[in-house]
Amino acid sequence: MSLSIGIVGLPNVGKSTTFNALTGAQNAVVANYPFCTIQPNRAVVPLPDSRLDRLAELVKVPTAIHATLEFVDIAGLVQDAHKGEGLGNKFLAQIRETAAILHIVRCFEDPNVVHIREKPYPVLDIEIVEVELALADLQQLERKIERLVSAVKGDKKLQPMMDLCEALKDHLGQGLPASSFRTWSSDDPVERELMSELNHEMRFLTGKPVIYVANVAECDLAENHPYVQALQEYAARKGAQVVVLCSQLEQDMQDMSPEERREYLALSGIEESGLEQVIRKSFDLLKLISFFTFNENEARAWNIPRGATAPRAAGAIHTDFERGFIRAEVIPFPEFARCGSSAAAKAAGHMRLEGKEYIVQDGDVIYFRFNV
């Protein structure tokens, strides 16, 4: 399963246009993903990786199956969503399921496309959305506190959790995101552990990592428009990344051949398409790495969280692989590529046998031995 990223933002900022461009990227390779049911608001997007393409060449298989990320187009958010306005609660529940947020911000002017104000004010627009998310988190936390009030009477061990919830309630009440709450950086391991437990249960909307997308007019792509600057300053204060793109252009580019696309990007003065940046930065944001496997039919890349052990990586392929894990035969990609084959890499002493404790590294080419 790929992790999902929720696309959020005010109405008419270009969410669906961006999503459609992502769907274009999905449709280009969809034949490779027989397991994914296509849903109208979900796009399963391959993660470009030239190492995988090279591996497929080296082991002479016709197919390279890239790792994927899933993007979800979440219906527009309006002020007071947390009170159930618009699609309110349904919308918020959908975001709760995602691992990260792609927040699209309108940085283009167009009198024909209605906006809540005459002109975009990127930071004010962002704040409307983020305040809604914080209020939704607050509401949920208050319900948790109500339950705790009676539970703590019977079980004093719940008191530290109660204290944590109260402190976080004050924090959210100021319109601040759960991600900036002090316990994340706390030196106290007990408090950090409690916060992790609470976040796991509540899945705070404002605890999720965010990438901001400045959706600009095509003519503003190459320059630093004041709207984009304002957004960049805001994001920098939050330690978040910004991708500048023109969603209409991204959508148009999906119909072009790769050569046409490259020419077009060059003409617009940019190297990597906005969509490619979105995919790459999302991958980084989720703290994922890729490892590779191959057989006689295909070479394949898999996403796992940074720090995952070999059995966990095996589990990304099949639960049987994890359950029956014996060991992993590992060749780092650079050595594999240099030697040209598994056998040559092994002969040169680059194949390692790794056990259950091994932390898989980005670019490992792995063959799992298992027994079920």
Ligand X SMILES: Nc1nc2c(ncn2[C@@H]2O[C@H](COP(=O)(O)OP(=O)(O)O)[C@@H](O)[C@H]2O)c(=O)[nH]1
Q: Which residues bind ligand X (CB under 6 A)?
A: 9, 11-17, 76, 108, 110, 113, 215, 217, 246-248
Query: Pick from ligand X, Mg ion, none: which does 110 bind, CB < 5 to 8 A by kind?
Result: ligand X
Residues 186-215 that bind Mg ion (CB under 5 A): none
Closest separation between CB of residue 28 and ligand X, Å? 20
State the nearest-atom distance from the C-beta of 139 to ligand X, in Å.
Answer: 25
* Cβ contacts of 336 within 8 Å, gap of 6 or more: 55, 58, 342, 345, 350, 365
Nearer to ligand X by Cβ, of 110 and 272: the residue is 110
Residue 41 binds which of ligand X, Mg ion, none (CB < 5-8 A, kind-dependent): none
Residue closer to ligand X by CB (options 14, 311) is 14
How long a stretch of residues is the chain?
372
Chain centroid to CA 129: how far? 19
The least CB distance from residue 279 to ligand X, in Å, is 18
Residue 104 or 310: the one with the smaller Cβ distance to ligand X is 104
User: Nearer Cβ to ligand X, position 140 or 232?
Assistant: 232
Stretch that binds Mg ion, among 8-16, 37-45, 166-174, 212-220 (CB under 5 A): 8-16
d(CA 276, CA 108): 21
Span interacting with Mg ion, options 14-22, 101-109, 301-309, 313-321, rule CB under 5 A: 14-22
Which residue among 2, 9, 13, 16 contacts Mg ion (CB under 5 A)? Answer: 16
Give the nearest distance from C-beta 84 to ligand X in angstroms: 20
Identify what 309 binds: ligand X, Mg ion, none; CB under 5 to 8 Å per kind.
Answer: none
Closest CA to 61 of 290, 363, 362, 292: 292
- The residue among 53 and 218 lying less far from ligand X, judged by its C-beta, is 218
Q: Residue 328: phi, psi to the nearest 5?
A: -120, 135
Q: How far is the CB of 114 from ligand X (least distance, A)?
A: 8
Spatial distance between the Cα atoms of 18 and 275, rounded to a whole number of angstroms? 8
Beta strands 42-46; 68-73: pairing state: antiparallel
The site partner of 204 among Mg ion, ligand X, none (C-beta below 5 to 8 Å per kind) is none
293 binds, among Mg ion, ligand X, none (CB under 5 to 8 A by kind): none
CA distance 274 to 251: 11
Residue 11 binding target from Mg ion, ligand X, none, CB below 5 to 8 Å by type: ligand X
Which residue stretch of 7-15, 215-223, 283-291, 354-362 sits at the interface with Mg ion (rule: CB under 5 A)? 7-15
Q: Of 108 and 212, which CB lies nearer to ligand X in the complex structure?
A: 108
Task: Give the one entry of Mg ion, ligand X, none that residue 106 binds, where binding means its C-beta sits below a cut-off of 5 to 8 angstroms depending on kind.
Answer: none
Which option in ligand X, Mg ion, none does residue 163 bind, with CB closer than 5 to 8 A by kind? none
Question: Which residues are at the interface with Mg ion (CB under 5 A)?
Answer: 15-16
